[in-house]
Amino acid sequence: MTTLRPAVKSGRQFQNPVDTKMAGFALLPKILKLYVKNKEERFPRQAPGPFRTDARAYDHAPASGLRVTWIGHSGMLMEIDGMNVLVDPVWDKRASPVSWIGPKRFFDAPLPLEKLPGIDVVLVSHDHYDHLGKQTVRKLARLQSLSGARWVTSLCVGKYLRGFGVNKVKIVELDWTESFTVSNQNNSAKLDITALPARHFSGRGLFDRFATLWSSFVLKGNRHNIYFGADSGLWEGFAEIGKQYGPFDLTMLEIGAFNELWKSIHMGPDGAVDAFKLMGATGLLMPIHWGLFNLALHAWRQPIERITELADRTGIKLWSPTPGTPTEVIAGQEFRSDWWRSKS
């Protein structure tokens, strides 16, 4: 069995927890050919939504102790046992280094940043543009609702947060297996956050791949235990994560941006089901990393269609809300929204 351990570097580059082959320049002609020939509906023919969040919901704590507002992709506002956590915030129009080209969001963010409730933690899994929005962070760093927030992220990602205006004293960088506890002085709530390995990579440019760390996270409150998988290919470490840190009430695993050519770093719907089973298949499975950006060759609905089919076949309980709707998580109760289905 793989041992969960701190990250290892080779020179200046962080290494994956298991041997992982990346799609290099040699595969570029093949990938470009696939994109040219691709006939899938990668962009919605009709823009989904519009979605609107009723921010008045945050005036009252969730009765269950756990409520999630899915902003889209891997971004969400999580209310867990009295703590408010903003995860992988990207309100930017594009997941790109520039504003005029690159993957453009399918729908506008349903909750204006100015209407966020008081935030205790901003959690950033890694530095990719679809998980860390530059303009978003710049705005968040100036908001009063985040004045007391701690920014928790992976090793070396803090340099970007500082560059985008976050006060360095508010930033906590974690290595794999390291933990940090955030407390709320107003209600005595606390949240234990543990960074764990993921099978992925990092980089915001052509020459900085693997320079910063990428992580998955366990968030443990007074009553609930959550796993946020961020981006990862399938690997045997999921079994040990489930054994050492589970069981989980809600397990968030990526299903989009998948292709066989890069399955070692993105698991897709089938991989998400396999990972969930390795972790013990307890609680609810929330599909993330889909429905907002065109980042692969598959149709934009394909990931949710496929995992819905797999869940029906295997009995796994899905938890998949409508973007922007604050939705309570009730133990053992599946929740499926059909916002993505064709209305034609």
What percentage of the chain carries pLDDT values higher than 90?
Answer: 88
Backbone dihedral angles phi then psi of residue 250, each to the nearest 5 degrees: -140, 125
227 neighbors 251 (Cβ within 8 angstroms)? yes
Which domains are seen in the chain, by residue range?
Answer: 49-336 (3.60.15.10)
Work out the average pLDDT over 48-65: 96
- Across the chain, mean pLDDT equals 94
pLDDT tens digits along 203-221: 999 889 999 999 999 999 9
Dist. CA 135–CA 125, nearest whole Å: 17
Per-residue model confidence (pLDDT) at position 107: 97
pLDDT tens digits along 139-168: 999 999 999 999 999 999 999 999 999 999
Tokens of 183: 């407390």
When pLDDT is cut at 50, 70 and 90, the band that residue 186 belongs to is confident
Q: Give the position of tokens 């005029």.
A: 100
pLDDT tens digits along 308-332: 999 999 999 999 999 999 999 999 9
Per-residue model confidence (pLDDT) at position 3: 76
When pLDDT is cut at 50, 70 and 90, the band that residue 187 belongs to is confident
Dist. CA 299–CA 93, nearest whole Å: 20
The strand pairing partners of 328, in sequence order, are 67
Q: Which residues, at least 6 apart from 321, have a Cβ–Cβ distance to it below 8 Å?
A: 68, 69, 70, 327, 335, 337
Backbone dihedral angles phi then psi of residue 96, each to the nearest 5 degrees: -160, 155
Sheet holding 216-220, edge to edge: 179-183, 190-196, 216-220, 225-228, 250-254, 284-288
pLDDT tens digits along 223-248: 999 999 999 999 999 999 999 999 99
- Three-state SS annotation for the chain: CCCCCCCCEECCEECCCCCCCCCCHHHHHHHHHHHHHCCCCCCCCCCCCCCCCCHHHHHCCCCCCEEEEEEECCEEEEEECCEEEEECCCCCCECCCCCCCCCECCCCCCCCHHHCCCCCEEEECCCCCCCCCHHHHHHHCCCHHHCCCEEEEECCCHHHHHHCCCCHHHEEEECCCCEEEEECCCCCCEEEEEEECCCCCCCCCCCCCCCCCCCEEEEECCCCEEEECCCCCCCCHHHHHHHHHCCCCEEEEECCCCCHHHCCCCCHHHHHHHHHHHCCCCCEEEEECCCCCCCCCCCCCHHHHHHHHHHHHHCCCEEECCCCCCEECCCCCCEECCCCCCCC
* Crossing angle of helices 268-278 and 302-314, rounded to 10°: 40
Per-residue model confidence (pLDDT) at position 343: 65
When pLDDT is cut at 50, 70 and 90, the band that residue 27 belongs to is low
How distant, in Å, are the alpha carbons of 64, 104, 172, 258, 343 from that of 47?
A: 33, 12, 37, 22, 11
